[in-house]
Amino acid sequence: MFRRLYDWTLSLAGRPRATWALGAVSFSESSFFPVPPDVVLVPMALARPDRAWFYAMVCTVTSVVGGLLGYAIGALLYDSLGLWLIQLYGYGDKVESFRSAYAEYGHWVILLKGLTPIPYKLVTITSGFAGYDLFWFVLLSIVTRGARFYLVAGVMHRFGGPIRRLLDEHLTLVASIVIVGIVGGFAAAVLLF
């Protein structure tokens, strides 16, 4: 299963709509979709290391724009859609503690959680719900999401060949580690949120 998905994603990099698919995943991950854009970014950057920086820029821009949708869900639709999404991910009982943390540490919450595998949609929705300053939300989102995606692009650009050989030889092991990381991110969010 992992091999087919990996090969399919690598083949996407050469297609005209590849960048649109990457942007769609990055946009939706910031507000409602559970799969991080790294799952698409890494194979695309491996297939086209010359475009890794461009892919990072696409992820950054679309993630921040998607974050604005998450912010709007939290600010305008929290009682219906926002609360449902938060509860879907199992964090309904943690929102008030997260909201109070925003009053004191809002900048740090956005910066740190935007870099981690903790689902960014939780930050975006709760930022809107908490009424966090929109200007600072956008600015800090650009910094944190940009840092994350440009770091991935830099690693893929610099070490893409060895990483691709590693993935070609040990894809199941690497995919299992990634899945554990994603599940760990959700678990950390439950414990830290």
pLDDT score, position 103: 72
Contacts (Cβ under 8 Å, ≥6 apart) of 87: none
Residue 87: DSSP 8-state: H
Q: In the chain, which stretches have pLDDT less than 70?
A: 1-2, 6, 14, 89, 91-92, 95, 98, 116-117, 182, 185-193
The pLDDT tens digits of the residues spanning 69-121 come to 999 988 888 777 777 877 776 766 776 776 777 777 888 878 877 776 677 88
pLDDT score, position 186: 62
CB 156 within 8 A of CB 163: yes
